[in-house]
Amino acid sequence: MKKSLVYIDPENVQNSIEILEVVAQIHQEEDFKSYGALINNSTSIQGLHQFDYIINIQNQNLKNYDPVAVTDVMEQLNKKYNFDSIIIPATHFGRMLAPRLAMRLHVGLVADVTKINHNGENLELVRPAFSGRIMAGIITEARKPIMLSVRQNVFAYDVQADKEAEVIDYQPENFKQGEIELLNIQENNISYDIRESEILVSGGGGTLKNFDQIKLLADKLNAEVSASRKIIDNGKADRNIQVGQSGKTVSPDLYIALGISGAIEHVAGLKNIDNIIAVNINKSAPICSLSDIVVEGDALEFVKKLSDKIDENEDQKN
């Protein structure tokens, strides 16, 4: 019986649940049990019923923002259960935890995994490489545990409504506390999460001169705004709305790509999108080959004309 441990990050509990699809793809036809590591009831156990077991770690001195302490506890769990795989969501905290734990366990780490392949007896983990310009397939060795972090919002898990997890209470042994102290929590200026958006109006280099127009169009379409890395690097938008390999992975019903060329590092952030509309002066841009509708032309001019048309229709209604 194979055993797989998933770290449940309160920053994105849904992603931790989706990792169960990764567990299933890794072990395929093999019998396996999934274990979720939960610290101090940081989220409701009832919402984690898809796991076979929830290890409910209880110690008030253990903080889920302290990678030093959590690494110690995760190492203790691996010694106790001898896991075949340990999978960590590639959240902000997960990216601190995963490499520390891999070094502690003397195993390799494949970070930001977006796809699982089986080539004969070999397990291949696919991840973006060279700033997302290529996708690299990494063959893992048989040594336990296989360790990987998984990019958010990439895998979809088929929920089993009638399943219920068995809860295992666990009191960790001595662990070293890091020097991180939480002083306050600052609210994010962005009131939405682009990973949950149904409609995204996304601006790229072609909208750099007047990115604010994108926001006005999004409001008229009851949509949210996202952006490519070029917009973020030029200080035109908050990094929380960046789509791509170094940003977030999105799955809206409609994605309107304005002035976005579609470099592989951006495309890496597009998964399971129903409809893509691309507006670009270059109809041969990579994003166009992925799109359902392509408009050849200047993105900002398109935004202005579409906004005017929406206003005209509203005036006629009134």
Three-class DSSP category at 46? helix
Quote the CA–CA distance of 259 and 218 in Å, as a whole number.
15
Residue 264 annotated in ligand binding: yes
Residue 28 or residue 255, greater confidence: 255
21 known member of a binding site: no
Check whether 259 is labelled as a binding-site residue: yes
Residue 205 and residue 164 share a domain: no
Report d(CA 266, CA 230) in Å as an integer. 10
- Specify if 257 maps to a domain: yes
Pair 7, 111 in one domain: yes
316 is in an annotated binding site: no
Q: Of 137, 170, 203, which residue sits at a domain end?
A: 170
Residue 179 lies in a domain: no
| Prediction pTM value | 0.73
Judged by average pLDDT, the poorest of 38-42, 59-63, 222-226, 289-293 is 38-42
What total of structural domains would you count in the chain?
A: 2
**Does residue 70 fall inside a structural domain?**
yes
**Alpha carbons 286 and 305: distance in angstroms, whole number:** 24
Task: Specify the CATH number for the domain of residue 253.
Answer: 3.40.50.1220
Arithmetic mean of pLDDT over the chain:
89
Portion of the chain with pLDDT greater than 70, in percent: 95
Residue 265 annotated in ligand binding: yes
* 216 and 163 share one domain: no
**What are the C-alpha distances in Å from 278 to residues 73, 217, 309?**
47, 15, 18
Per the annotation, does 8 bind a ligand? no
Q: Which of 170, 186, 204 is the last residue of a domain?
A: 170
Annotation-wise, does 263 bind a ligand? yes
Residue 296 pLDDT grade (very low, low, confident, very high; cuts 50, 70, 90): very high
Query: Is 260 annotated as a binding-site member?
Result: yes
**Residue 228, marked binder:** yes
- d(CA 88, CA 259) in angstroms, rounded, equals 34
Residues 145 and 14 placed together within one structural domain of the fold:
yes
Residue 187 forms part of a structural domain? no
CB 96 within 8 A of CB 109: no
The answer to whether residues 120 and 240 belong to one domain is no
Name which of 100-104, 194-198, 275-279 the model is least confident about.
194-198
Question: In CATH, what number is assigned to the domain containing residue 164?
Answer: 3.40.50.620
23 is in an annotated binding site: no
Q: Is 244 annotated as a binding residue?
A: yes
Dist CA 294 CA 283 (whole Å)? 7
| Structure token pair of residue 249 | 């992975």
In eight-state DSSP terms, residue 190 is -
* Structural domain of 279: 194-317
Task: Give whichever of 47-51, 178-182, 202-206, 270-274 has the largest mean pLDDT.
Answer: 202-206
Same domain (yes/no): 10, 154: yes
Q: Which residues of 229-242 are buried (b: 16+ CB within 10 A; e: fewer)?
A: bbbbeeebbeebbb
Residue 266 counted as an annotated binding residue: yes
Does residue 47 have a known ligand-binding role?
Answer: no
- Position 187 pLDDT exceeds 70: no
**Residue 113 backbone dihedrals phi, psi, to 5 degrees:** -70, 135
Instruction: Taking residues 24-31, report their average pLDDT.
Output: 87
